[in-house]
Amino acid sequence: MNPLLKLTLILLLFTSITGCEEKDQQAKTSDPAVFKTQLEALEKAKQVERVLQDEAAQQRKAIDESTDSQKQ
């Protein structure tokens, strides 16, 4: 095999490997502020869900009490 061809193949291989590593490092070092805002939004949604579930439980309890008092 021609030495120039070997060198070219080696350089192409090296370039492709380092190119992939740079993309992986960029993906790993994403902006943590983006994740922080998403986590805050998720936590806020969970709090709203808890409030809605509590209110629904109170409403069911009130309905049950009113229907029980009407039966008696």
- CA separation for the pair 65, 59 (Å, rounded): 10
Residue 24: pLDDT above 60? no
Mind listing the pLDDT tens digit for each residue in 30-50?
667 778 888 999 999 999 999
Percentage of the chain with pLDDT > 90? 35
Name the residue with higher pLDDT: 65 or 23. Answer: 65
Cα-based distances in Å from 35 to 8, 29, 54? 42, 12, 29
| CA separation, residue 49 to residues 4, 40, 42, 46 (Å) | 67, 14, 11, 5
Q: The whole model's pTM is what? A: 0.49
Question: What CA–CA distance (Å, rounded) separates 57 from 72?
Answer: 23
Side chain identity, residue 56 = A
